Copies of this chain bind each other. A is one copy, B any other.
Amino acid sequence: MTKTLKAEDKIKEAARSLFIEKGYEATRTRDIAEKSGINLALLNYYFKSKSQLFEMIMLETFQHFMKGVLSTLNDPNTSLTEKLEQFVDSYIDMLMSQPNLPYFIIGELKNKPGHLLEIIQQKETILQSVFFQQLRAKMPDTSPQASMQILVNLTSLTIFPFLAKPMIKGISHMSDPEFKKMMLERKKLIPKWIKMILDN
């Protein structure tokens, strides 16, 4: 499978892995070439420059990320409670298997806010998602900003612990398995907490 990739795709996969792991500045084109098993010159042949290769990968990664978010938040066949549970469950699984992804997205979104706004704002999909409709129906008396606060809470409680993993482990003297156990426990707790906030 991986062996049958064309050179162009081999480069892209190696670059994606390295950019996500180490960031743009710390990634060397030589390392991308070596990891992909192809020659350094081919990188420039196919992608013109390191920065253009990075741009392409960042856009793809971010679009894939947003697509994943929306697939859960836009499901018309699940209740609000089910969406909360699915969101937390699938995101915690994803973050456990790809721990560097949030650093990458958060970090790059800081450096290049402009580019990605276009993707976020395309058709205003999140604000108009089924999730948001269900949220507003549940909180009819509050301001529109109130449902945004709920989404911020949901993502904060889910994603931030993975960003703060080194600090959490240091403060509480946790091992890796203990940290994992704590995050699995949050799968049940976060939806419960969000519902408490909603029902306040």
Please report A residues at the B interface, Cβ cutoff 8 Å.
23, 25-26, 100, 103, 106-107, 109-110, 113, 116-117, 120-121, 124, 126-127, 145, 148-149, 151-153, 155-157, 159-161, 163-164, 166-173, 182, 185-186, 189, 192-193, 196-197, 200
Instruction: Pick from B167, B172, B196: contact of A200, CB below 8 A.
Output: B196
Chain B residues within 8 Å of A169, by CB: 113
Given known contacts A127-B172, A149-B189, A163 and B106 CB-to-CB distance under 8 angstroms: yes
- Nearest residue (CB) in B for A25 is B25
Question: Are B152 and A161 within 8 A (Cβ)?
Answer: yes
Q: Which 10 A-B pairs have the closest CB atoms?
A: A25-B25, A120-B170, A156-B160, A160-B160, A113-B166, A156-B156, A109-B166, A117-B170, A25-B26, A126-B171
Q: How far is the CA of A181 from the CA of B63 in the complex (A)?
A: 29
Interface centre among A107, A116, A117, A170 (most CB of B within 10 A): A170
Chain B residues within 8 Å of A117, by CB: 166, 170
Question: Are B173 and A121 within 8 A (Cβ)?
Answer: yes
Question: Are B116 and A166 within 8 A (Cβ)?
Answer: yes
Chain B residues within 8 Å of A186, by CB: 149
Instruction: Pick from B116, B152, B182: contact of A149, CB below 8 A.
Output: B182
A-B contact pairs, 17 of them (CB 8 A): A25-B26, A106-B106, A106-B164, A109-B164, A110-B163, A117-B170, A120-B171, A126-B171, A145-B185, A149-B182, A149-B185, A152-B168, A160-B160, A192-B200, A193-B193, A196-B197, A196-B200
